[in-house]
Amino acid sequence: MARRAGAPEVSAGSMADIAFLLLIFFLVTTTIETDAGLDRMLPPWEPPTDEPPIIKQKNIFTVNINRNGQLLVEDEIVEITKLREKAVAFLDNGGAPSGDPDFCNYCKGTRDGSSSDNPTKAIISLKNDRETKYSTYITVQNELVGAYNDLRNREAMRLYKKNFVDMEAEYLNPETSDEVKEELKDKVKQIQELFPQKLSEAETSSD
């Protein structure tokens, strides 16, 4: 029963427990989620001083949302599920005749003379009521962005055999290396120019 000489060691056994406790506390109280959502640019505040550019009526695609969440698209009542289809048809129309400076050589639409001339000219105008529910508004926004993405995906597939949405996500990802980014930049830009997002939002109506 001989005892060892010297000061007794301080037990470090409970140190792990303390550290675990801290670890669990931080795990519970912190969040690593990254948010995601629909990116939009607002128009600048300053009212344009010069004359507003004249836009042909046929190049404007009007979408009106009323307070009950019903849609009026180009003066027709349309189900929200049909909106994407309609928007794609409008953007992809390419109504300008061949030989015209506005002729669109990549459009696959119906080439209806009374609809948009060229995707670069086509403008979607969105108007909503003050009483419109936010969720309806987001659904409409989502469908319109979806229409653009569908068309851009189609062109990206044709030109680069890649999905546009994936290309853009890779381009925006901070972990992508600079060389890859540089290469993607031109491609993304080119596709964006084929179908520029021209989505104008009017001031909300109060009645």
Partner 1 sequence: MSKFAKKKDGEVPAVSTASLPDIVFMLLFFFMTVTVMKDSSLKVENILPNASEIKKLEKKDRVIYIYVGKPTKEYEKVFGKEPKIQLNDKFSDPSEVGDYILMERAKKSQELQNVLTTSLKVDKNASMGLISDIKQELRKVNALKVNYTTYEGDAFRNLQ
190: Cβ–Cβ under 8 A, 6 or more apart, which residues? 159
Q: ∠53-64-70 over CA atoms, to 5°?
A: 170
| Nearer to partner 1 (CB atom), residue 146 or residue 196 | 146
| Nearer to partner 1 (CB atom), residue 7 or residue 12 | 12
Render the burial of 45-77: b for 16+ CB within 10 Å, e for the rest.
Answer: eeeeeeeeeeeeebbbbbbbbbeebebebeeee
List the one residue out of 110, 185, 186, 119 whose CA is nearest residue 147.
119
Question: C-beta of 2: minimal distance to partner 1 in Å?
Answer: 8
Binding residues vs partner 1 (CB under 8 A)? 2, 12-13, 15-16, 18-20, 22-23, 26-27, 29-32, 34-45, 69, 80-81, 128-139, 141-143, 145-146, 149, 165, 168-169, 172-174, 203-204, 206
Rounded Cα distance, 9 and 12, in Å? 9
Question: C-beta of 185: minimal distance to partner 1 in Å?
Answer: 16
Question: C-beta of 50: minimal distance to partner 1 in Å?
Answer: 19
Question: C-beta of 167: minimal distance to partner 1 in Å?
Answer: 12
Give the tokens for residue 55: 């836009």
| Nearer to partner 1 (CB atom), residue 110 or residue 204 | 204
| Nearer to partner 1 (CB atom), residue 46 or residue 51 | 46
